[in-house]
Each structure stands twice: as C-alpha cells, then as structure tokens.
Structure 1
C-alpha cells in the first residue's frame, strides 16, 4: 500500500465529549439537589432543618452518583423519551390490530 491510501487519523480529545459531571453525578441534577437542600436549611434556620437538609442532600448525592455510573446522561435520555412517546408504535407485533384509527 502506498502512503496516499492510508486513512488519516485525528485524535479526539476527551474533554470534547466527556459528560459534564459534578461530584460524580449529572451537573444539573446535583446543583438542583444542592439548591433544594440549601433552601431547606436557610429557610428554617434551625438545627433540625440543617440535619434534614444535609441528610436529604447526601441521599440525593448517593442516588445521582449511582445513576451517573449507569448512564451519565440518563435524565436527558429520559426526558427525550417522554417527548417522543407519541411517535412510538403502541404495539410490538406488526400483525396486532390497533384499537384506534390512527395510522402509525
């Protein structure tokens, strides 16, 4: 093979396609959970509210980190799935008769 027949390879930098994460969870969800926990703490300004806010935030961090390990963009995928639900065919078999007159 001559030199001109080889495909040119370009490097893809990791920073260009890496998901945006904060403390191991999706950025938007982690920041929202911090905002909610902080709102609980600041609105009541007592020890019990502080403990409840911190415990709530730690539970959210644990759940969001586990969710991000499965799929770093899970919330975006879920929201897109809800948006496209009208386009999905309601039946899994092509020979099954639909009850509605809508053409899929």
Structure 2
C-alpha cells in the first residue's frame, strides 16, 4: 500500500493579482480616465498640469497601497458590505 501522492503544478501567473504599473488595475484605469478627461476637456496648460500631477501622485499612492496588500480594495469593499454585521466594540456577553 505504498501510494505516491499526485502533484499538480500551480503556475504563478494564475495566482498573482491583476496589477498595472504596480497598482490595482481598476483603480489605476479609473484614475487614468479621470486624468485624461480632465486634460482633454480643459485644453489649457493648467488643466494639463493638474491632470498629469493627479495621475503621477495617485499612481504613487496606489502603488504603496498595492505593495502593502494587492487585494486591499477588495478587502475594503467587503468590509463596507459587512459593516452593520460586525459591531465595533465587544459585548458584555463575551465568554472569557
């Protein structure tokens, strides 16, 4: 009864989160759309500078967020969904 365990290869590309420029894909694309809309609707130097600076600074902060936890956006959305379920303090009925 000497049986060998079957092994399965797990490719790393299947387990990695979807990141663009090191940040969450949906967040960086939405910031990019907002920045380019700001640039092309304003069509002056000030709106161009504001749009590019918005893109650069938000990319920096989104990269910091993804470096801490690549799935932070999903965790935050799920936390907001269950906010009424989890109370923020302990109850007097906790068994110690």
- If the length of structure 1 is used for normalisation, what is the TM-score? 0.82
Report deviation, 1:90.
4.2
Structure 1 unmatched ranges of 5 or more: 97-104
Equivalents in 1 of 2:70, 2:42: separation in Å?
A: 33
Q: For 1:40 and 1:87, how far apart are their aligned partners in 2?
A: 39
State which structure, 1 or 2, has the greater radius of gyration over its C-alpha atoms: 1
CA offset digits 1:61-98 (Å, max 9, x no partner): 000000000011111110110001122134324437xx
Q: Distance in 1 between matches of 2:52 and 2:87?
A: 44
Instruction: For structure 2, list consecutive stretches of 5 or more residues without a partner in the other structure.
Output: none
1:1-104 → structure 2 map (5 Å cutoff):
2=2, 4=3, 6-95=4-93
Q: CA RMSD in A?
A: 1.6
Would you say how many aligned residue pairs link Structure 1 and Structure 2?
94
Q: Which has the higher contact order (CA 8 A, sep 6+)?
A: 2
1:39 & 1:71 partners in 2: Cα distance?
29
